[in-house]
Amino acid sequence: MLLLAVLAVALVVPPLSSTAPPTDSTALRDAVTVEGIMEHQEAFQAIADANGDTRASGTPGYDASLAYVQEQLEATGYYDVTVQPFLYDAFRELATPVFQRISPDPRDYVANEDFITMDYSDTGDVTGTLVATNDIVIPPGATASSSSSGCEPGDYVPASTTEPQVALAQRGTCDFRVKAENAEAAGYDALIVFNEGQPGRQETLAGTLTADDTSTIPVIGTSFAIGEELYNLVNAGPVTVRVATTTEIRRDVPTANLLATTKTGRVDRQVVVGAHLDSVQEGPGINDNGSGSSAILEVALQMAELDAQPENQVRFAWWGAEESGLIGSQFYVDSLTKREVKNTAVNLNFDMVGSPNYVRFVYDGDASDTASLASAGSGVVEDVFVDYFDSQDLASEPTAFDGRSDYDAFISVGIPAGGLFTGAEGIKTPEEAAIYGGTAGIAYDPCYHQACDTIDNLSLQALDEMSDATAHATLVFAMTQSAIEGTDKGKGKAKGHADFLGSKLRK
């Protein structure tokens, strides 16, 4: 099936390089410098400093970031610059959550290590008997989603109507939102979801119920080990736990995307080059994603400076509310007419290109190396990046389209996509350290989603190499006369949705 998909693309589309005259990106790459990018990074840091150390959507730090980018682009006169406003539901935690085993054998679990409040969880403070759903699978089944714990209303033993009770469910099969809504419908006052237990599904769950969630109970995620222990205790006798969360969900908060579109070039082969502009609330977000935002801004400014005449229209996009679940880019794609979807030749995505302990990751467009949810045609995009790095004698690695960034909405409607990533909370392997340098055994970005994601949390070498690759790929797709639409666009949509919705798991 995978092989067939790859063959189909190969038959329809000869490699880009063999049909199009080679694009010489030297002038643009020379013009895009680390100094230029760091000017924008300094601006984002100053904006965060002046606005409570964050540039999260819905905050003044985001609005100032957007105004900065807008002003830079408008000054060129080269682009049509538009603000695309939208509303989203903002979630945050107002206090450190609590999870305790009261009896037997009392234990305080550590917030954000042993357990994590799910995004869009409601507020509550519940001390009650722990009740396991009927269909927990321990030891875990051989494959992911062997458990469908909590996915059907009948999975939950009807809760006591007089005493507070906490439900225990296992990850698998359906969205956490469904498990939460079923738990509440069965009468539970709080829900604990533990990871399923297979390799790669054991750590503490960082989940989201998504903004669509209608449940009103506290919901936390925990590790397989803690879930398994609690499950065994429940089978041995009564277990009492406490779950307390303090959260805020603000509905219909205004924020915006920023779009800058070249005035020339074929509109029926539009190239959308995107990066999310928002940070998390916890920090200034200079690597995530000041780096991608600054890199594409500098490419856009230098294209204007060189007065590039693109064959195909180029639209640079800075997305809002990515950190709340890819909301700005989803809003953009949802706003496109059928014709506009067809006219979008490709989406290039840059979400973290300056990680201090970096690897040169390229999205795995042909799904040859990873369980990637690629749309048809994305292999062509991957090749452009990989061939470029090869030409520079730089190694690169495939990384899955797994739903963690803004390409998601594009591939789900069949638009080819690709892009770069230098790594987040993942741990660098000794093999990677041998190839890319840096330190094995620590994260690619040790300050990922933290207050320390500042101007000091960058590899300038990563920024240099990745921004050149960004400039190159942007120009290749801007100038190509070969039909990227020959990639069966519209028929090869990514199947289903990914486990991730942005940085959080949704199932």
Which spans of this chain sit near Zn ion (rule: CB under 5 A)? Answer: 288-289, 351
Residue 270: phi and psi, rounded to 5, are -70, 135
Return the number of the residue (310 or 502) whose C-beta is nearest Zn ion: 502
Beta strands in 4-162 (DSSP E): 79-93, 98-103, 107-108, 115-117, 124-132
Minimal distance in Å, beta carbon 98 to Zn ion? 29
Asked whether 300 and 73 are in contact (CB, 8 A), the reply is: yes
Return the number of the residue (288 or 408) whose C-beta is nearest Zn ion: 288
Q: Give the strands of the sheet with 98-103, arranged side by side.
A: 107-108, 98-103, 240-245, 124-132, 165-170, 190-194, 219-222, 115-117
Return the number of the residue (44 or 109) whose C-beta is nearest Zn ion: 44
Minimal distance in Å, beta carbon 56 to Zn ion? 12
Q: Report the distance separating Cα 502 and Cα 325, nearest Å.
A: 5
Return the number of the residue (117 or 289) whose C-beta is nearest Zn ion: 289
Minimal distance in Å, beta carbon 323 to Zn ion? 7
Return the number of the residue (168 or 297) whose C-beta is nearest Zn ion: 297
Return the number of the residue (351 or 485) whose C-beta is nearest Zn ion: 351
Minimal distance in Å, beta carbon 279 to Zn ion? 9
Identify residue 310 by its one-letter amino acid code: P
Longest pairwise C-alpha distance within the chain: 75
Told to judge if 322 belongs to the known catalytic residues of this protein, a careful annotator would answer yes
Contacts of 204 (CB under 8 A, 6+ apart): 113, 114, 115, 116, 195, 221, 222, 223, 226
Minimal distance in Å, beta carbon 92 to Zn ion? 17
Contacts of 412 (CB under 8 A, 6+ apart): 333, 375, 493, 494, 497
Return the number of the residue (351 or 408) whose C-beta is nearest Zn ion: 351
**Angstrom distances, CA of residue 101 to CA of 128, 158, 160, 227:** 10, 22, 20, 12
Minimal distance in Å, beta carbon 411 to Zn ion? 17
The residue annotated as part of the active site, out of 322, 397, 465, 485, is 322
Identify residue 115 by its one-letter amino acid code: F
Instruction: Give the pairing of strands 344-350 and 266-276.
Output: parallel
Which tokens go with 116? 């994590």
Identify residue 499 by its one-letter amino acid code: D
**Residues paired with 255 in a beta bridge:** 86
Which tokens go with 106? 């009392």
**Angstrom distances, CA of residue 432 to CA of 215, 284, 457, 500:** 43, 28, 20, 24
Q: Report the distance separating Cα 278 and Cα 256, nearest Å.
A: 10
Asked whether 326 and 406 are in contact (CB, 8 A), the reply is: yes
Minimal distance in Å, beta carbon 80 to Zn ion? 26
Catalytic residues: 322
